[in-house]
Every structure is written in C-alpha cells, then in structure tokens.
Structure 1
Amino acid sequence: MKYRSVFDIIGPVMIGPSSSHTAGAARIGRLARRLFGRNPRQAQIEFCGSFAQTYQGHGTDVATVGGLMNFDTHDPRIKDALKIAEDIGLEVKITTIDLQGEHPNTAWITLIDEAGTMKVKGISVGGGKVALLEADGFAMNLSGDAWTILVFHKDHFGMIASVARVLADHRINIARMEMSRKAKGQEALLIIETDQEIHEPIGMQIAGITDVAQVRILPLL
C-alpha cells in the first residue's frame, strides 16, 4: 500500500478526539459545502450508525458544522462551530436515523438556500479519510484527495470526449474518472480527478460545451 504523506499513516492534524468521528466529520461537511458551491442558509444533518451513537461526545456535530463553514480539521473554531453558525445565520438541525446496511460512520446532509437544495451522503472511513457517495441522486465516490471537476450535463455520446479534449489542451492529466446518470439520455454527472490544479478559466470553457448545465471545481481538501 502506498501513502502520499506521513499523515496518511498517523492521521490528520485535528481538533477533537477522533480521526474518524471528528476530523472525518469535518471533512465530510467541508466537501459537501464545496460541492454545494456557496454558503448555505440551512443545514439538516442526519447521523447514522456510530455517528448517531457518539456524535456529541466525539464532537461529530461541531466538526460537521465547522466543515460546512469551510473550517479545516485543525481549525480551533470547530469547538464553537454551533455558536458561530448561529451568529452568521446558518440554521442547523441535527437528528439521528437508524438505517440497516449503512456504513457505521454515515452522515446525510441537506444544504438549503434561496437558490436551491442539495442532499449528500458522506462516510468517514478512518484516519480522517472520507467519501461522498451520493449527491442529489447521483452515485459517486468523491474523496477530496485530488483536484476534481464535476460536470453536470445531459447524457449523450461525445460528452466525455469533449471534456477530455479541453483538459488535454491545457495539459491536464486525468487520474480517475467516473460517470453517473439518472437514466439514459437524461441528467448525468461526470467526475474527473486530475494530477494538476484546475483553474477557473478551464471550468468556464467546459461550461460552454453544448448540453453542460453546471461545472464545479473542487480543490484538494
């Protein structure tokens, strides 16, 4: 097994007692916020499994909310995240759910503002590592460990080639790619992780491709 850094072995620099329940939770929240693309006005958080059983003692609640405000795992403001959220007008509701067959460290997060709503499913897999497995009905496996571009588009032939051509023109190497669609010929999501940083003009160029509805660029967590 290969590691990118010593932190993959000893875990992240963090506030809180648990790399899975605290640092992982913060990263789930932060990744959800980046996918949403703006500051939410409301956040509905549902904890499942061991998250539901220990979220107060392990600080999973404050860590998740801190992540939603883009706090890193080592940010000292995490411990006061619920109060800070109240001060800035972010309405937070935290509940627990009992769903059989889910990963033990699962959080469902619904983010809401005037422009729309997004619901994501995230899991903490240990050592501060996380994955978003679903967003608004699209299946995914998003870790935040690489620069990532998400292309929401209409499903049809040639779309992957068109996006890949833009990246190739900018000498951006594709490290991993996955496609999710709701049905043949309907809404689809292309997720591409890259070896290089993706700059905003590249995203704007991809957004100009016919039948692309939206583009999100996610930097490293």
Structure 2
Amino acid sequence: MRFKNVFSIIGPSMVGPSSSHTAGAVRIGRVARQLLGSQPETAKMTLFGSFAETYWGHGTDLALTAGLMDYETDDQRIPQADVLAEEAGMTLEWVQGRGNGPHPNSVKIQLTGGGRTAEIVAASIGGGTIAVYSLNGFDVQITGEYPTLAVKHSDSQGVLANMTALLSRDGYNIGYMDVDRKGRSGDAMTVFELDSAPEETTIQAIRKLPHIKEVTMIDLTKRS
C-alpha cells in the first residue's frame, strides 16, 4: 500500500503504450542514473517476469534507456532513446534474468560512469508507480515519489541520531526512513524520503558528519 499514488488512478503524463512498461520504466532508469550521479558509460539491464517477456514490444527497453538519459515520462525523444544513447557514448546490455524478481515487472540495473558504479533493483508496479528494493546492494525501499537522500555510512552509534537531528534543525520533515546494514559495525545505508528537497548546504553538512561515507540525492520531482 505504501507505493500507491495518484498515478494508480489517473495515470501519468507519458509517451508509450503502457504506464507499467514505459512510464514506470523511465522513472526506474532515472533513479539509477541519479544514484550513479552522471550519465552512464555502460548499463546492464537484467529483466525479470513480464519485463523480460515483452520488453521489445512494449518499449520497456526504450523507456529504461530514456530514464538513463534523464528524460521525463512525457519526453518526445523516448522512441529514439536507444539511438540517442548510442550517440552519447552509452553501451547497453540486455539480459533475461533467471528465476523470479521481486515483482513481475522488475529489473536489475548495473551502471558504470565517471569512475563510479551503481546498482538498483526496482519494479514498475502499475500506473507509472515504482518500487525500488535495493540500492548498491543494500535492501532499502523507496518510491521515487519524494525527494530522497541515500546515505552510506558506518554502522556506528549516534549516526542516525546525528542525521535526523540535522534534517530537523534545517526544517525538513522525514516522511519515511529505512536502514540496512551489512553487519554489526560494518557498512550501512539509510534512505530518507523527505517532504521537500534539501538545500545543498544541508547535504554538505550531512557529508561532514562523523562516519558518513557517501550521500546521494535522488529526486524525480525535479524536472530534468
């Protein structure tokens, strides 16, 4: 129920035949690109379920590629996204996954670019709504409906308290928070879905907190 929104009722503004296979896929691609922080140089898409069976016919491949190019769901360039990505120097690989994904319309995206890597597991769950189940190997959930901070940090005492206190100090309300850790005192990731996008000064302040390793802003509410 957490993943339902107005798109589930009226559908998004979009280019393509299917909100699940195109609009949702565009949004998944944009999350992956924003997690990487730049235009990908290589992208490997492992498709599961209905995505794997029908992605050519429904344009899911074009939609995911368009998202990686940071296009919106209503961008008129979506039908040419594969050509435009190739012209931009992006190398794409499509793989049919084995077994079941977390949802019939799910995909694992692995990216490289700018000396960085990124990986997400996500699904298009209807009406353009998405569910992201994993970020860079951490099992956290986000919807893409709200500005989201993804923070990689050490699993150390006081880290969560410091982050939430800083966000509260700067006037940001946390609508949802999720944490995953690799082990006691190991690496962890916390995601914050916020009611409004934080200013860069707040993001930089979080980066300077003890035990913080990486802070990434994911914001599909901002037009590209």
Aligned pairs for 1:170-209 (under 5 A) are: 170-209=170-209
Q: Deviations over 1:148-183 (max 9, x none)?
A: 111110001111110011111111111111111111
**TM-score normalised to the size of structure 1?**
0.94
Separation of aligned partners in 1, 2:5 and 2:125: 17
Does the 8 Å contact 2:151/2:212 carry over to 1? yes
Structure with more contact order per residue of length (Cα contacts < 8 Å, sep ≥ 6): 2
The answer for the alignment partner of 1:55 in structure 2 is: 55
Aligned CA distance change for structure 1 residues 163 and 191 (closer, same or farther; 3 Å): same
Does the 8 Å contact 1:51/1:107 carry over to 2? yes
Unmatched 5+ stretches in structure 2: none
Q: Deviations over 1:73-105 (max 9, x none)?
A: 110111000000110101111121231364110
> Deviation at 1:118?
1.8
For this pair of structures, how many residues does the alignment match? Answer: 220
Q: Secondary structure at the match of 2:58?
A: coil
Separation of aligned partners in 2, 1:220 and 1:26: 10
Q: Deviations over 1:170-197 (max 9, x none)?
A: 1111111111111111110111111122
The answer for the alignment partner of 2:157 in structure 1 is: 157
Q: Does 128-137 or 199-208 show the bigger shift?
A: 128-137
Q: Which amino acid aligns with 1:147?
A: P
> Deviation at 1:29?
0.5
Separation of aligned partners in 2, 1:100 and 1:214: 31
> Deviation at 1:116?
2.6
The answer for the alignment partner of 2:113 in structure 1 is: 113
Q: Secondary structure at the match of 2:40?
A: coil
Q: Which has a greater percent of strand? A: 1
CA RMSD of aligned residues (A): 1.6
Q: Secondary structure at the match of 1:12?
A: coil
Separation of aligned partners in 1, 2:133 and 2:30: 15
Q: Which amino acid aligns with 2:44?
A: Q
The answer for the alignment partner of 2:26 in structure 1 is: 26
Does the 8 Å contact 1:153/1:188 carry over to 2? yes
Does the 8 Å contact 1:28/1:130 carry over to 2? yes
The answer to whether 1:216 aligns with 2:222 is no
**TM-score normalised to the size of structure 2?**
0.93
Aligned CA distance change for structure 1 residues 195 and 218 (closer, same or farther; 3 Å): same
Separation of aligned partners in 1, 2:114 and 2:167: 33
The answer to whether 1:103 aligns with 2:103 is yes
Q: Secondary structure at the match of 2:161?
A: helix
Separation of aligned partners in 1, 2:5 and 2:82: 33
Sequence identity of aligned pairs in percent? Answer: 38
Does the 8 Å contact 2:49/2:101 carry over to 1? no
The answer for the alignment partner of 2:66 in structure 1 is: 66
Q: Which amino acid aligns with 1:13?
A: S
Separation of aligned partners in 2, 1:149 and 1:100: 29
> Deviation at 1:220?
3.4
Separation of aligned partners in 2, 1:9 and 1:136: 31
Q: Does 77-86 or 135-144 show the bigger shift?
A: 135-144
The answer for the alignment partner of 2:86 in structure 1 is: 86
